[in-house]
Structure 1
Amino acid sequence: MASYKGGAITAEEVLRESQRLPPTLRARFEQGTGREEFIRAMVDKRLLALEAERQGFTQDPEIRRQVRELEERLTIQALLAREEKSAGAPTDEEARVHYQAHIERFAQPERLRIARILVEVPPGSPHTAWTQAQQRAEALRRRVVTGEPVAKVAESGDGPERSRGGELGLLARGEFGSAALEKAALALTRPGEATPVIEQPAGAVVLVLLERLAPRVPPFEEVREAVLGQMAPMLQRRAFEQVLARLRKEASIELSSAGAPAGASADVDTVAQH
């Protein structure tokens, strides 16, 4: 992709370097002048590195120390990753045992599928604007109450949810963003039932109940992936402890009195894992 006195930039290197960029920034440098600019920046970086090496900075004791520490961290990570991989994934039986032991983590509270109809009021608007918004919201509410489909009524609202039929999705207690909205929503009992107009910072709001789901504990099969996700840190810890126990046994470790102060009670495994 580019050459310079002392080296070259390959397509593989450009690809690898570009993959480190955030997706939005990466698109800018994928083609045309942006790609050329990116490659020139890589060449500049190489020239600076070569000059630093020529001037002897690669032999600086502090830099060498930091390089050794980085290499140590990377190689330890690779070792532990291999140990975790060789240990294998937990069996279904192990996952089921974990699920039963922590079943409260997977319990789902009562949830409400809610639609919102919002009539926006810009910040700083006069009282008359609020009055008009409440009147408009009440008119939209009456359309719902008289049986007009919620999705059609929501199209006349102002919120971003209008493009998806007003739906906000499933919400549990504590997820409504407002005590007033939560109280009004929880009072709804029948699908299609609407709250009174509620004044909120964004404007006048009407909530409509689409569905009410009772609390439940999903079966293991439904949450299997979540169970495995919760087990991952435990399995990583187990692999870490096993390899460390083996290495300690083989190393014949001896601490001098200066290295083991009386009364020390640090969690050595926690420090080592960090």
Structure 2
Amino acid sequence: MIQGFDFSLPGDKQKTEGSQSKLLTILICFVLVAVLANIALVLLNGEDKKQGATGAALSAEQQKQLALKLEKQGLELPSAAAWKRYLNVALPSDEEAARIWYRIGKLYQTADRCDMALDAFYRSEGFARPQDIAQEISSRTQDCLEAMGKFAALRQELSERVGIDTAKPGNSSAQKDDSIVAEIGPQKVLKSELDRIIEEQIDQKISQFAAYMPEDELKKKKEELLKQYTTDQQRQLFLNQYIVTELLYRKARESGISDDPKVRAAVKDLERSMLAQKLMERQFADEIKITPGDLKTYYEAHSKEYIQPERARIAHILVKDKQAANAVRERLRKGDDFAALASELSQDTSTGKKSGEISGWVERREKGIVPGIGQSKDAVPIIFSTDKGKVCEEDIESDSGIHVVKVIDQEPERQKGFDEVKDDVSIALRSAKEREVQQGLLSRLKDQYNVVIHQSAFKGEEKTPEDSTAGQ
């Protein structure tokens, strides 16, 4: 059988195979490009459809009009967000940006978002300081810090504001006073940091009263505590104590005390308690909003709890026995002045100097213990059976001796007015709401974490002889 012959040279065959390989590669590249182009067209088409469904982005002018409209309708937070979007679209000058951030800050402040307002005011000053709004920003910044209870930061802010307004080259007295007050190795404690530490510790102290005191009372309490650290001597004493604690803390860590299992367990328990407390505080802040109307409604519903019972103010002459008491009564019958006899004969020297008068009121509902007298079951009936200005016909016995008592003032039972007990009402209502919030939260958490308490394990049933010997 005759076979066909290949008359091509070996070199030509290799060249042909190489050309075919190159053509295949080029073809694959073209295919990939086509696929990618198709994908891009699909994506662009999808984006066009998306824009067609949702609408094109607002222009700068449209965004501005939206912000103005929201602001006019009193929607502070949406308006502030709209103004921020306007800033991103319009790209205004530094001065215009400063004015818009100032406007945003005012909106946040009106909405009681002082933290966001401060951020906006500081951003405004970062762009520019137009003269017509500079003083207003300064005032509003201080108002926000005060509203947030950041008094140390407020003092620092005031110091910096004075420096901004009066500082001149070479005028060292106008420079910001943030000197170093202490050094612990390489660490430097600045004056502003000391203020912050003092305020943080005061915040921790008053946090325990947060559940029982209105917000304005907490702020007053904080201001009172801060006044304790206004002098250099008081601040230095605090600084010394802070350094002592810091040194002991550092030494304890170096000594490995922090690695002690008992210490770590105690710290863990403290962390658990603190986190639980902070969670409840956050829950209270989110869910409890008490208005003046709520206080009035609660007062009217619980008016019986705010009744001032009948009460009296008394004076006494304390003597050792009945014989001495009879001698006092004899002199009173002869016309001697009660106040003079108290000063002369009473064994209670503290009230004797004050005509025998006992500070405070005795209320009819009191049982057993009477101010200035002590334990006496007969005191209240005897006092309230005596008219104002009269000496009680019967002596009152106590552990201190025998009391000859005079009623110097009386007030009948009365309903306390709302303004008189407003703070008490606030505390009571807040406590009731906190209990309600806490019970609701705990109920939800028990369901969430599948809590089961086996009450039968705590019944304390007596074991039978068979039970007590089981397993021996």
* Residue 158 in structure 1 maps to residue 347 in structure 2: yes
Alignment of 1:187-202 (within 5 A): 187-202=385-400
* Residue 95 in structure 1 maps to residue 285 in structure 2: no
For the structure 1 residues 54 and 99, does the alpha-carbon distance in structure 2 shift closer, same or farther, using more than 3 Å as the test?
same
Q: C-alpha displacement at 1:86, in angstroms? A: 4.7
Q: C-alpha displacement at 1:49, in angstroms? A: 3.1
Matching residue's letter, 2:347: D
Q: C-alpha displacement at 1:208, in angstroms? A: 0.9
Encode CA deviations 1:212-259: one digit per residue, 9 max, x unaligned: 3222332333322222121221122344456667x859xx9464xxx6
Aligned counterparts of 1:42 and 1:203: Cα–Cα separation in 2? 51
Q: State the partner residue of 1:108.
A: 308
* Residue 231 in structure 1 maps to residue 429 in structure 2: yes
Q: TM-score, normalised by structure 1?
A: 0.63
Q: What 5-or-longer segments of structure 1 have no aligned partner?
A: 122-129, 267-274
Matching residue's letter, 1:95: L
Q: C-alpha displacement at 1:188, in angstroms? A: 0.9
Q: TM-score, normalised by structure 2?
A: 0.40
2:325 touches 2:404 (CA, 8 Å); kept in 1?
A: no
Which of 62, 66, 72 is matched with 2:266 structurally?
A: 66
Q: State the partner residue of 1:206.
A: 404
Matching residue's letter, 2:312: L
Q: How much is the aligned-residue C-alpha RMSD, in angstroms? A: 4.5
* Residue 222 in structure 1 maps to residue 420 in structure 2: yes
Q: C-alpha displacement at 1:198, in angstroms? A: 4.4
1:9 touches 1:43 (CA, 8 Å); kept in 2?
A: no
Alignment of 1:1-274 (within 5 A): 12=194, 39=240, 45-87=245-287, 90-119=290-319, 121=320, 130=321, 133-139=324-330, 141-142=332-333, 146=335, 148=337, 150-156=338-344, 157-159=346-348, 160-168=350-358, 169-173=360-364, 174=367, 175-176=369-370, 177-240=375-438, 253=448, 255=450, 260=452
Query: For the pair shown, which has the larger CA radius of gyration, 1 or 2?
Result: 2
Matching residue's letter, 2:343: E
For the structure 1 residues 92 and 167, does the alpha-carbon distance in structure 2 shift closer, same or farther, using more than 3 Å as the test?
farther
Question: Which deviates more from structure 2 when the two are superposed, residues 52-61 or residues 109-118?
Answer: 52-61
Matching residue's letter, 1:189: D
2:322 touches 2:402 (CA, 8 Å); kept in 1?
A: no
Q: C-alpha displacement at 1:2, in angstroms? A: 6.0
Aligned counterparts of 2:245 and 2:354: Cα–Cα separation in 1? 48
Aligned counterparts of 2:322 and 2:454: Cα–Cα separation in 1? 74
Q: What 5-or-longer segments of structure 2 have no aligned partner?
A: 1-180, 206-227, 459-472
Residue-pair matches, total: 239
2:376 touches 2:396 (CA, 8 Å); kept in 1?
A: no
Aligned counterparts of 1:72 and 1:179: Cα–Cα separation in 2? 47
For the structure 1 residues 100 and 53, does the alpha-carbon distance in structure 2 shift closer, same or farther, using more than 3 Å as the test?
same
Q: C-alpha displacement at 1:197, in angstroms? A: 4.3
Relative contact order: is structure 1 or structure 2 higher (C-alpha 8 Å, sep ≥ 6)?
Answer: 1
For the structure 1 residues 18 and 92, does the alpha-carbon distance in structure 2 shift closer, same or farther, using more than 3 Å as the test?
closer
Q: C-alpha displacement at 1:100, in angstroms? A: 3.2
For the structure 1 residues 97 and 215, does the alpha-carbon distance in structure 2 shift closer, same or farther, using more than 3 Å as the test?
same
Aligned counterparts of 1:223 and 1:204: Cα–Cα separation in 2? 37
Matching residue's letter, 1:50: R
For the structure 1 residues 225 and 141, does the alpha-carbon distance in structure 2 shift closer, same or farther, using more than 3 Å as the test?
farther
Give percent identity, aligned residues only: 22
